[in-house]
Structure 1
Amino acid sequence: MPSRVSHIAPATGDPAVQGSGLRSDAESNRRRILDTARALFVSRGIDVPMATIARHAGVGVATLYRRFPTREALVTAVFSDEFAACSAIVDDALADEDAWRGFRRTIESVCASQAHDRGFNDAFLSSFPHAVGFERERLRIEDGFAEVVRRAKAAGRLRLDFDVSDLTLVFMANRGVIGDAATAPAASRRLVAHLLRSFEAGRAEPARPLPPPAALGLGRPYPAREG
């Protein structure tokens, strides 16, 4: 699992300092900032102003920036658990001896996660080129996705003209059907089932060739990598 960027101050000998490394009031502020930021990211998107986050969290802007010097640092901290879960999905797929099953479960699991947490989806598909911790997490996941695709092709189960950047199209399409929380899980599952059926190689009726892939990465316009 990739290392996480820590924004927690080092522990001291002060008895007021808690086990987390922050004084109790500072830890309370940090937790409130994270909870508030998550709620606002989900409801308004990750471009919500930092001053708005500070105001809703009941802290000063200076306090917010002491804890999280950049928006990228805040986003990484807010969604650290989701990044870890996404990494675990990829790791499980790569550990599966059945390459097609690993590919299928990767798409099913990530899209199910999207249906339950749109805020993380927005964060994952956004580009923060200067956020070292954020990029390290995402690049590791992207490389894992590319290997999952490569293995499924090598096993003869995934059509050869599937491009790793097509995963971005899958996630974008899935995002389009999860606007209504009441119907999102069912709509997502049905969409994914249709897509997986079209991606599978070796079906009775030969699939028509796909158009060339767009130069899409997970949130960045660069040529996709496949290993």
Structure 2
Amino acid sequence: MRKDAQRNIERLREAAVSAFREHGLEVPLEQIAQRAGVSPGTVYNRFGGRDALIDAVMPELIEARIQEMMERALAVPDPWDGFAAYVTSLCEMQATDPALNDAVSRRFPDAARLTEICDAQMGRARGLIDRAQAAGSLRADFAVQDMAFLLWSTAAIVRATAGIAPLAWRRSLALALDGLRPGAAHPLPVAAMTDEQVKLAMIGLGPRRAR
């Protein structure tokens, strides 16, 4: 690859990271191209479109953050506190980084590598859930697929209240976590969604845009 082409790719990667983290993953590609000092067509020529650009810059950012959160949660001796700490850390990440909010709430399922990392995150979360349920501190009918509800609701609350009440998501999350404790909890009226249903719901939540 020519040196000028390689420089354009690096500029686009850097511009994409900064633009995504400021505005989320829906930021116009033209704005990213402008930041990089290249034409909009260069984005498509070098990456093929938004999903490929997301996959080029986001996976390594989110994978390291999630792994760090998981390790901290597993180090907490109390199973409930470890589970709650992990969920809270994910939601804090959603609240402070628009790009990671979009990524964790799975709004771009066509970004294959990013989706793969998020799927793996759900698999690792199952261990925290099992540990808390075995200790009797998390309601037994909570399923790993139910994690999606916590992340989707936080994503929506963060976007709706960012300029009004930026900590409102903490109240919502606290109410949700209280509802996950056993004891006085009522039986759930329907079964947990399947993995396929979660995937289809994620696609429905994603932005309506031309490919």
Shorter chain as normaliser: what TM range?
0.7 to 0.9
1:96-155 deviation line (CA, Å, top 9, x unaligned): 332111100011111111111122221231343572x32432222111112211211111
Match of 1:72 among 26, 48, 51: 51
Cross-structure match for 1:134: 114
Question: Counterparts of 1:23 and 1:184 in 2: how far apart (Å)?
Answer: 47
Instruction: Report the structure, 1 or 2, having the larger helix content.
Output: 2
**Structure 2 unmatched ranges of 5 or more:** 202-211
Cross-structure match for 2:187: 209
Aligned residues: 197
1:62-101 equivalences in 2 (<5 Å) = 63-65=42-44, 67-69=46-48, 71-79=50-58, 80-101=60-81
Paired residues of 2:145 and 2:198 also in contact (CA < 8 A): no
Q: Which has the larger radius of gyration?
A: 1
Question: Counterparts of 2:90 and 2:177 in 1: how far apart (Å)?
Answer: 13
Paired residues of 1:158 and 1:199 also in contact (CA < 8 A): yes
Secondary structure in structure 1 of the residue aligned to 2:172: helix
Mean CA deviation greater in 32-41 or 107-116: 32-41
Question: Counterparts of 1:106 and 1:198 in 2: how far apart (Å)?
Answer: 16
**Structure 1 unmatched ranges of 5 or more:** 1-8, 10-21, 223-227
Percent identity between the two aligned chains: 32
Match of 1:221 among 164, 180, 200: 200
TM-score, normalization: structure 2? 0.74
Question: Counterparts of 1:143 and 1:198 in 2: how far apart (Å)?
Answer: 22
Cα distance, 1:180–1:127 mapped onto 2, change above 3 Å: closer
Q: Which amino acid aligns with 1:155?
A: A
Cross-structure match for 1:187: 168
Cα distance, 1:155–1:118 mapped onto 2, change above 3 Å: same
TM-score, normalization: structure 1? 0.70
Cross-structure match for 1:200: 181
Paired residues of 2:54 and 2:111 also in contact (CA < 8 A): no
Question: Counterparts of 1:92 and 1:42 in 2: how far apart (Å)?
Answer: 24
1:31-82 deviation line (CA, Å, top 9, x unaligned): 4323433455467653556556435532135643565345333213332223
Cα distance, 1:128–1:182 mapped onto 2, change above 3 Å: closer
Secondary structure in structure 2 of the residue aligned to 1:177: helix
